[in-house]
Amino acid sequence: MAELVALTGEPLALDFVNTAANTPDGPVDLLATRAHLRTWLDCEAGRFPDLGAIDVSAVSAADIATLHKVREYVASAIESARGGAVPSARALAGINTALRGAPAVSELVVREGNLRALTHRKGSAAAAIASRVAEAAAELLTSSDVMKIRECDASFCVLLFLPAHPRRRWCSPTLCGNRARVARYYQRHKAQHA
């Protein structure tokens, strides 16, 4: 199987949840290692402005496991909320713990003669990533958009997306959408030639 690339372009919390994917070949974890984390962060360039250059070399296996737990909490909370239910106390506690793990600190600085507000996070790289994702999850969970989140229509796919158009059915029209169209074409022609 070719290297799977993360689906990006959705709200950050969904992009993070979507790092646990299903493919026709089985489940894939796009945050399994430091290298995977680095690749995902590169795909999400610009969405972590308060972290600066993130050094993932200090991220341990325990940190990766913590990110996986945060992903589970966020996924659980989103699944509940998009169904109209209140997320579990466990999911909310996990997200809140991540939020507190690396609080954002703002300061005013003068750069090139202009006053700017800069935000940075205290804590390890993994705690800062988890905190930023938890912040994005809190924003999404408290937005009316959470009720619009859909799961991809492809039978094997578990990815979530926030449709910009009400007729959108797949996480990616070029991946799952194309597979679905090819499968329908195959079934239609198989039936005609049987």
pLDDT score at 194: 63
Q: pLDDT tens-digit profile of 171-192?
A: 877 777 666 666 666 667 766 7
The per-residue pLDDT for range 69-115, each reduced to its tens digit, is 999 999 999 999 999 999 999 999 999 999 999 988 889 999 999 99
Q: Looking at residue 23, what is its pLDDT?
A: 74
For residue 46, pLDDT over 90 is answered with no
Confidence class of residue 11 from pLDDT cuts 50, 70 and 90?
Answer: very high
Q: Is 118:41 a contact under the CB 8 Å cutoff?
A: no
What whole-number distance in Å separates Cα of residue 76 and Cα of residue 72?
6
Per-residue pLDDT reduced to its tens digit, 49-74 = 767 677 889 899 999 999 999 999 99
For residue 1, what pLDDT is reported? 37
pLDDT of residue 12: 96
CATH classification of 12-192 is 1.10.3300.10, yes or no? Answer: yes
Per-residue model confidence (pLDDT) at position 4: 56
Element (H, E) at 42: helix 34-43
Q: Are 95 and 35 in contact (CB under 8 A)?
A: no
Residue 43: pLDDT over 50: yes
Can you read off the two tokens belonging to residue 94? 């996990």
120-174 confidence digits (pLDDT tens):
888 899 999 999 999 999 999 999 999 999 998 887 788 899 998 888 888 877 7
pLDDT at 179: 66
Pairing of strands 114-121, 150-151: unpaired
- Residue 169: CB atoms within 10 A of its CB come to 15
Per-residue model confidence (pLDDT) at position 111: 92
- What is the distance between the alpha carbons of residues 177 and 17, in angstroms, rounded to a whole number? 20
Taking the model in full, what pTM does it have? Answer: 0.85
